[in-house]
Amino acid sequence: MFEGKTGMTKKVEEIGDNHIGTSAKTPLRADAFDISDKDKIARIEDSVRDILDTLGMDLEDDSLSGTPRRVAKAFVNEIFSGLNPENKPKLSTFDNNYKYGEMLVEKNIIVYSTCEHHLLPIVGRAHVAYISKGHVIGLSKMNRIVDYYAKRPQVQERLTMQVVQALQEALGTEDVACVIDAKHLCVNSRGVRDIESSTVTSEFGGKFKDPSVKQEFLDYIKMETNFE
């Protein structure tokens, strides 16, 4: 079946459209940041121009002439800006002086990410919680850490784990949980074209592995939030 094909081609064909992740860490080469963002934009611009040209698009048309540059800038500065560790939000923590000992839940955090298998959008919501062991973190930082890890080619399982691991490190506690419910356009708009399905992933650390604590977190997620 694979006679005459390279090892990489064999592996790609074996995986096919399967949803697969290779590591809890984003697969980056050691030289990922040896060139500047400016140089990356220039290289990506050339690549996008070549793709559109290969597809037969008229790049002299006013509507398309700036597309390669726009796509390149969006990739580097926005859509995949989470690849650059310089963009990681500073997760400053504070002493829990008011001795709040229950779980804190930040729910319905909007997730915009990109499937690393087809480079199509992942759109959904994240729900994050922690139980303080002496330190607390600003609420907006929880949103920002989700956004940071989402802005890279991703698989949802990895994104969920990375959010938990980052907050565990910042807060000095294992007691962190994250649930993400998202739609994958690689499923919704191509392949089986199932527009109704969504993917749910979870990562529970420390006390959140206890069934009663886990259930309390899940109950908070289901609560309706209506301030009208």
The residues annotated as belonging to the active site are: 115-118, 156, 184, 186
CA-to-CA dists, residue 69 to 29, 40, 49, 77, 79, angstroms: 24, 11, 9, 12, 14
- Alpha-carbon distance 185 to 110, whole Å? 16
Q: Is 13 strand, coil or helix?
A: helix
Cβ distance 177 to 3 under 8 Å? no
